[in-house]
């Protein structure tokens, strides 16, 4: 046998070994593990569906257009990850918490750093709105003790189903966003509007993919929260409006039963709705 015969030439059966054999021994351990597994699963997928040359071309075109859709305001790859359930899976693996601690869900693309800091009770809606709502509750630890100094960063869509950053010429900057900090009793309360369901941006390749798969682009109505406090894991989550039509078919798989909150009508001057939700934080290890 000559020397050449020992080389791993590429074959259909030996495709994974041929590619992974090229990873140098100097490669960072974690990178080598991740890439070996990626190649293994990618090749298994191609073999499983026996991908045609034409389908491969469609995939390359799709990924190209997905990249071309991205700019500083639009991240089509994150949207792709969201609708494939990848974002929620990464989030679940990285945010395992004991029972009773508030669960995470997807951050989404519409969070903005530097939203206004408000005193408790203030209104985050700068545009007004018909379905006015009081949001309230407590931030606690797993033993039920109040958490003082918890920072609560909130944001939601307008009554037309758009975030302020999607309509910079229509909505005031920081409309329906704000940051609140709890006092010694851990209580929070603020005013705003009842969120509405809305479609994720669906005018790009991800939207086209959803249409081809017979999927709608809607998310059930929700209020976003990031709750952080020194010594505790940060919770990135939403509360969802109970009864929303899209709770069981969220385009990005973000709904968890524990995050569904009821909204009660109230007869209280200008406020039409009230929703209460307690956040339970897990101490950092």
Residue 198: C-alpha distances to residues 51, 156, 246 (Å): 35, 11, 10
Judged by CB under 6 A, the residue of 69, 101, 106, 280 near ligand BEZ is 106
Return the residues of window 31-90 that contact ligand BEZ according to CB under 6 A: 79, 82
Pairing label, strands 279-281, 177-181: unpaired
- Residue number, 63 or 165, with CB nearest to Fe ion: 165
Tokens of 100: 């009773």
- Find where tokens 């499983």 sit: 48
Site string for Fe ion, 81-110 (x = CB under 5 A): ---------------------------x--
DSSP tag of 123: B
- Find where tokens 């508030």 sit: 102
Cα–Cα–Cα angle for 155, 160, 166, rounded to 5 degrees: 60
* Residue 261 burial by Cβ neighbours in a 10 Å radius (0-12, 13-18, 19+): middle
Near ligand BEZ by CB under 6 A, which window of 8-16, 104-112, 206-214, 271-279?
A: 104-112
177 binds ligand BEZ (CB under 6 A): no
- Residue number, 200 or 281, with CB nearest to ligand BEZ: 200
Find the distance separating the first CA and the last CA of the chain, reported in whole Å. 58
202 binds ligand BEZ (CB under 6 A): no
200 binds ligand BEZ (CB under 6 A): yes
- Residue number, 110 or 189, with CB nearest to ligand BEZ: 110
Secondary structure class of 225 (helix, strand, coil): strand
255 touches, from ligand BEZ, Fe ion, none (C-beta below 5 to 8 Å by class): none
Judged by CB under 6 A, the residue of 219, 240, 246, 247 near ligand BEZ is 219
Closest to 263 measured CA to CA, from 244, 248, 282: 244
Which residue of this chain has its Cβ atom nearest to ligand BEZ in the complex? 108
- Residue number, 129 or 195, with CB nearest to ligand BEZ: 195
In whole angstroms, give the CA distance from residue 91 to residue 75: 18
- Residue number, 109 or 149, with CB nearest to ligand BEZ: 109
Binding interface with Fe ion (CB under 5 A): 108
């Amino acid at each position: 046998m000559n020397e050449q015969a020992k080389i791993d030439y590429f074959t259909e059966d030996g495709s994974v070994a041929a590619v992974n054999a090229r990873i140098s021994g100097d490669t960072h351990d974690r990178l080598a593990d991740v890439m070996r597994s990626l190649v293994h699963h990618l090749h298994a997928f191609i073999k499983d569906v026996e991908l045609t040359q034409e389908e491969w071309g469609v995939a390359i075109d799709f990924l190209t257009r997905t990249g071309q859709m991205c700019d500083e305001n639009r991240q089509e790859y994150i949207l792709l990850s969201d609708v494939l359930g990848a974002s929620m899976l990464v989030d679940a693996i990285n945010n395992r918490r004991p029972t009773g601690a508030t669960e995470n869900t997807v951050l989404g693309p519409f969070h903005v750093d530097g939203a206004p800091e408000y005193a408790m009770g203030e209104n985050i809606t700068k545009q007004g709105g018909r379905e006015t709502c009081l949001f309230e509750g407590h931030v606690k630890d797993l033993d039920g003790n109040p958490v003082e100094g918890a920072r609560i960063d909130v944001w939601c869509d307008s009554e037309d189903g758009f975030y302020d950053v999607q309509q910079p010429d229509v909505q005031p900057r920081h409309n329906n966003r704000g940051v609140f900090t709890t006092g010694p009793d851990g209580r929070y309360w603020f005013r705003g509007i009842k969120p509405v369901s809305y479609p994720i941006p669906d005018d790009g390749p991800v939207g086209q993919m959803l249409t081809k798969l017979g999927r709608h682009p809607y998310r059930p109505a929700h209020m976003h929260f990031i709750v952080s406090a020194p010594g505790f894991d940060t919770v990135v989550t939403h509360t969802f409006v109970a009864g929303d039509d899209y709770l069981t078919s969220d385009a990005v798989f973000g709904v968890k039963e524990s995050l569904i909150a009821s909204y009660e009508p109230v007869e209280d001057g200008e406020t039409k709705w009230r929703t209460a939700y307690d956040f339970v934080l897990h101490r950092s290890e």
